[in-house]
Chains A and B, each alone.
Chain A
Amino acid sequence: MFPKLDPLLHSELRLAVMSILAGVDEADFTYLKKQTGATSGNLSVQIDKLTAAGYITVEKGFKGKMPRTTCRITEAGQEAFGNYVESLKEYLK
């Protein structure tokens, strides 16, 4: 019996965001947009879903006069991401 994959992470864009955030302490919205190649609207929606699930935190602020949105992975997010990767490995065994 294969383990169930977290449906929240089993989406291309959300998984891409989580993969980036798993490897860094924090990343700007612009950085995530550049790395994933997503549109701002779509990325915002997916980030909101990950935030609602408690997988990431979003901090809105300013750097000088420029608005800046910084995303960070939470402990729950790290755990969910780790479990997801372990489940994927089971599928590939």
Chain B
Amino acid sequence: MTAHESLQLISEMLNNSRKDILRSNAKYYMIWGVLLTCFSLAIYILWKTTGQAYWNLLWFAMPLVGFPMDKWIGKREEAVRSENVISRITRGIWLTFCIFSCSVAIFNILFSVVNTSPIGAIAVGTSLSGQIILLFGMAEAITGVALKNWTIKIAGVVTGIGGLALYYGIGLYEEQMLLFTFAGLVLFITGILVKRQNR
């Protein structure tokens, strides 16, 4: 092997590991993108047809569906996997987003109950959509920075800033759910693009 060939081999192997991590992330983006789109549309339709805001409680069912799917995919990948600091960072970013957004939602419901009926409290909870969409976009953009991937960075900015703009532009009640449909679609499309880039 010449020195040039050796360096080429090293850079090829490092690049392949990076691509592997991006491909693995893309799968999770697609799954959670589909879940987010489906749940937000279902809640939007149910809320619109019944006029009841308590359909928002269905959000808590999303992790119940998503995490087992997540685990199933992780198990399938376990036989052929590698782990590095970037994969740990991205997992940490999304776990932090999950904890923060769930806490914000729970606190809002709990403290709103003091002043309003539980159903009203959940309606008040929809004003959180702007905050959650911003957190979501931020998590996505930071993941893009960690993975050095422009598609994910741009998708994060589009979701966060675009979502916030939409939040102020659309209605106050069930229409807010469409923000998450938008975020879910952006996430799903990002997953497809990242997978294609790293075949």
Chain A positions within 8 Å of B, measured between CB atoms, are: 10-12, 15-16, 19-20, 22-28, 30-31, 34-36, 63, 66, 68, 84-85, 88-89, 91-92
Contact with A along B49-88 (1 / 0, CB 8 A): 0000000000000000000000000000011111111001
Q: Shortest beta-carbon distance, A79 to chain B, in Å?
A: 16
Residue contact A88 to B82, C-beta cutoff 8 Å: no
B145 CB-CB contact with A under 8 Å? no
Query: Which one, A20, A25, A66, A88, contacts B13 given CB within 8 A?
Result: A20
Among B4, B10, B18, the one with the most A-chain Cβ atoms within 10 Å of its Cβ is B10
Residue contact B18 to A26, C-beta cutoff 8 Å: no
Interface residues on B, range: 20 to 34
Q: Shortest beta-carbon distance, A10 to chain B, in Å?
A: 6
17 A-B pairs in the complex with CB atoms less than 8 angstroms apart: A15-B1, A19-B14, A20-B13, A20-B16, A23-B14, A23-B17, A23-B18, A23-B84, A25-B85, A28-B82, A35-B13, A36-B13, A63-B78, A63-B79, A66-B79, A85-B10, A92-B4
Q: Complex formed: what's the CA distance from A56 to B103 in Å? A: 43
Chain B positions within 8 Å of A, measured between CB atoms, are: 1, 3-4, 6-7, 9-10, 12-14, 16-18, 20, 78-85, 88
Q: Shortest beta-carbon distance, A33 to chain B, in Å?
A: 9
Q: Complex formed: what's the CA distance from A23 to B19 in Å? A: 12
Query: With A16-B13, A23-B18, A35-B13 given, is the CB distance from A92 to B7 under 8 Å?
Result: yes
Residue contact A31 to B82, C-beta cutoff 8 Å: yes
Residue contact B82 to A27, C-beta cutoff 8 Å: yes
Query: Which one, B3, B4, B17, contacts A24 given CB within 8 A?
Result: B17
Report B-chain residues with C-beta under 8 Å of the C-beta of A89. Answer: 7
Q: Complex formed: what's the CA distance from A30 to B79 in Å? A: 7
Q: Shortest beta-carbon distance, A63 to chain B, in Å?
A: 6
Residue contact B81 to A19, C-beta cutoff 8 Å: no
Q: Apart from A20-B17, A35-B20, A89-B7, what 7 extra A-B contacts exist at CB < 8 Å?
A: A15-B6, A15-B10, A23-B17, A25-B83, A27-B82, A27-B83, A28-B82
Report B-chain residues with C-beta under 8 Å of the C-beta of A92. Answer: 3-4, 7
Query: With A12-B9, A15-B9, A92-B3 given, is the CB distance from A20 to B82 under 8 Å?
Result: yes
Residue contact A10 to B6, C-beta cutoff 8 Å: yes
Interface of A is mostly: helix
Q: Complex formed: what's the CA distance from A19 to B10 in Å? A: 5
Q: Shortest beta-carbon distance, B8 to chain A, in Å?
A: 10
